[in-house]
Structure 1
Amino acid sequence: MTDRYLSVDQVAELLGTSVRFPRRLIEERRIRYVKLGRHVRIPESVVEEFIRSRTVEPIRLRRTSLRRAA
């Protein structure tokens, strides 16, 4: 599988955040990245995995019949 390597700017655009957010993820080692000289690249699959791992599914509540006492 060939993976696209995204710049920090591209990751920020993909996530809809400022550039500061992916830079902080890199600094805190919360996301995998590749360092090529002075350039930092993040594999697209890593960004997708990051989004998937932080996706919160909705809670399905059972509807109970609420009746008022007369």
Structure 2
Amino acid sequence: MSYQHGRLLSVPEAAERLGTGVRFVRRLIQERRITYVKVGRHVRIPEAALAAYIEANTVQPARRTRSHHRLAA
């Protein structure tokens, strides 16, 4: 697989960007829910992988529909 990863983030940097703790990011890695790179003993997360994770887990707001029936007061 040859594509540009961009900057590689450490686990604490990725946690800061997500606004979570380091344990959450480590769990994502352990469960292989996010792409990561092994650099020797170190684990790094590509910025593109973090952006893809955020995009894939973003929930759009529901559209509010108007009720055609009004309640009697």
TM over 0.5: yes
Structure 2 spans left out of the alignment, 5+ residues: none
Of all paired residues, the percent bearing the same amino acid is: 55
Residue 58 of structure 1: which of 51, 61, 64 is its match? 61
Structure 1 spans left out of the alignment, 5+ residues: none
Residue 27 of structure 2: which of 17, 24, 46 is its match? 24
Q: Say whether the 8 Å CA contact 2:5–2:46 is kept in structure 1.
A: no
Q: Deviations along 1:6-31, whole A, 9 cap, x unmatched? A: 00000000001110011000011111
Root-mean-square deviation (Å): 1.5
Give the deviation of 1:67 after TM superposition: 3.7
Q: TM-score, normalised by structure 1?
A: 0.89
Which runs of structure 1 show a deviation greater than 4 angstroms over 4 or more consecutive aligned residues? none
Q: Which residue of the partner structure matches residue 50 of structure 2?
A: 47
